[in-house]
Amino acid sequence: MKIVIPDWSTMSAVNMGFSVFEEFGEVVCCGMTRPEEAAEKIGDADVVLVNKTPITAQVMDACPNLKYIGLFATGYNNIDIPAATARGITVCNAGTYSTDAVVQHTFALLLSLAGNLPRYEKAVADGEWERSETFSYFPYPVHELCGKTFAVIGYGSIGRGVAKVADAFGMRVIVSTRSKPENCPYALVTMDEAFRQADVLSVHCPLTEQTAHLINRENLAKMKPEAYLINTARGGIVDEAALAEALNAGRLAGAGVDVLDKEPMRPDTPLKAAKNCIITPHIAWSALETRDRLVQIVAGNLRSWLEGHPTNQVNG
């Protein structure tokens, strides 16, 4: 069996490397693959293990041996799922491998905003504290989270995780999600109510036709001017031009985003120069422990498929 990994560079510095997959067959590992190169790189492979390289219907047609697509990711919007299903190709994602890391990064962004940490770090580096007349130098506002309303959009494993941590901070947690979750200890609200009530709006839903540009001018206009927006889900959920306008006009206090609509970041990204916007380069998922876990999950998914009982299948 031939296995192709077209974008291993996205998993760089994983302790175990890709040798874990060699027990299943011949492994061809590529650093990065441009979309137009995907069919050529995959070629006659039976299996492709992929992170973000698009696997389109055209790629599948050009690779007739392809029977299995395993994702180094939870999201699978880079795979043409209907095309894979029609061709009998099994697609399996990595489930909840990154929950703890993404929850951690969500609050890293929020705490940086609430504590004005980037501005204070710069102030100290610039010698402002050294020139201060008082022992405590606080020209920029710092806010407590306790008592504030934390709105969670999407209540999967990550949404549940951030809700639990927000609750531990003493925040009032509200949840907006498509389907009513069982045993949810928090108030369930409509999307409109989430935007209107939130002091912090944290996005944890998948990118779909329904959620694309969910964070748009209309919904941003509903938010409190002192509110924060956090997005560690998918960049396409946010209309970046609308968010930049809201930030620059003072209609929103701040935003912390780990994902952008176009990645890597482009020079003309609207949020690049937006006020009070913290951008990190899609690293919420990337803790070393998380990536090691991810490789093991992907290997386990492949093993289960070969044994005839696929796990984490998204098109079954």
263 in catalytic set: yes
Q: What topology does CATH give the domain 2-97+287-306?
A: Rossmann fold (3.40.50)
Q: What percentage of the chain has pLDDT greater than the value 70?
A: 99
Question: What letter represents residue 178's amino acid?
Answer: R
Range name among 7-16, 130-139, 149-158, 227-236 with the lowest pLDDT average: 7-16
Look up residue 29 and give its two tokens: 């590992």
**97: Cβ–Cβ under 8 A, 6 or more apart, which residues?**
74, 290, 293, 294, 297
The tens digit of pLDDT for each residue in 129-164 reads 999 999 999 999 999 999 999 999 999 999 999 999
The tens digit of pLDDT for each residue in 44-68 reads 999 999 999 999 999 999 999 999 9
Out of 234, 240, 291, 293, the active site residue is: 234
Q: Would the pLDDT of 93 be above 60? A: yes
Q: How many residues does the chain have?
A: 316
* Cβ atoms within 10 Å, residue 15: 9
Residue in the block written with tokens 């949404």: 159
Which pLDDT score is estimated for 95? 81
Please state which of the four CATH numbers 3.40.50.2000, 3.40.50.970, 3.40.605.10, 3.40.50.720 is assigned to the domain occupying 99-279. 3.40.50.720
119 in catalytic set: no
204 in catalytic set: no
Going from N- to C-terminal start, the domains of the chain cover 2-97+287-306, 99-279
- Strand segments, DSSP code E, in 156-219 are 172-176, 187-188, 200-203
Which pLDDT score is estimated for 149? 99
Asked whether the bond before 54 is cis by omega within 30 degrees of 0, the reply is no
Question: What letter represents residue 13's amino acid?
Answer: A
Q: Would the pLDDT of 14 be above 70? A: no
Domains 2-97+287-306 and 99-279 share a fold: yes
Q: For strands 172-176 and 187-188, give the pairing.
A: parallel
Q: What is the mean pLDDT of the chain?
A: 96
Q: Would the pLDDT of 13 be above 60? A: no
**Whether the Cβ atoms of residue 59 and residue 42 lie closer than 8 Å to each other:** yes
- Strand segments, DSSP code E, in the chain are 2-5, 26-29, 47-50, 68-71, 90-92, 149-153, 172-176, 187-188, 200-203, 228-231, 254-257, 277-279
Element containing residue 294 per DSSP (H, E): helix 288-306
Question: What letter represents residue 44's amino acid?
Answer: D
Of 102, 49, 44, 41, the C-alpha closest to 78 is 49
Q: Would the pLDDT of 112 be above 60? A: yes
Out of 178, 263, 266, 289, the active site residue is: 263
The tens digit of pLDDT for each residue in 254-299 reads 999 999 999 999 999 999 999 999 999 999 999 999 999 999 999 9
Give the predicted TM-score (pTM) of the model: 0.90
Q: Would the pLDDT of 238 be above 70? A: yes
**Whether the Cβ atoms of residue 113 and residue 254 lie closer than 8 Å to each other:** yes
Question: What letter represents residue 121's amino acid?
Answer: E
